Amino acid sequence: MNGVSLDKVTFEFTQEEHCMSNDRSGVESLTVECMSDTGISDTDGAFYVLKTEQWAIDDLTDLKLLFDKIEQAINAVK
């Protein structure tokens, strides 16, 4: 895609709240913004900005899987 660059991508994730939650809304949400000062398509990586009120994981593998999905999605449109 000549002349078109990917500058910023925002991902919205949701999951059921964890059993120790005080919120009781039933859902946890996580927003991940991916951006680069020169554009994502023009670099080998991006900055990741995480925004959440609450997001629980069982272990670090959960985060690895989440960021693998983000990387796959970005690479598909780069």
Give the whole-angstrom CA distance, residue 46 versus residue 33.
9
Number of domains forming the structure of the chain: 1
62 inside domain: yes
Tens-place pLDDT, residues 7-47:
899 999 999 887 776 666 789 999 999 998 888 888 877 89
Q: Identify the domain containing residue 61 by its residue range.
A: 8-77
The DSSP line for 57-73 is -SSHHHHHHHHHHHHHH
| pLDDT number for residue 24 | 65
User: pTM (2 decimals)?
Assistant: 0.82
- What is the pairing mode between strands 27-35 and 47-54? antiparallel
Q: Which residue has the higher pLDDT, 22 or 65?
A: 65
67 inside domain: yes
2 inside domain: no
3 inside domain: no
19 inside domain: yes
| Confidence label for 63 from pLDDT (cuts 50, 70 and 90) | very high
49 inside domain: yes
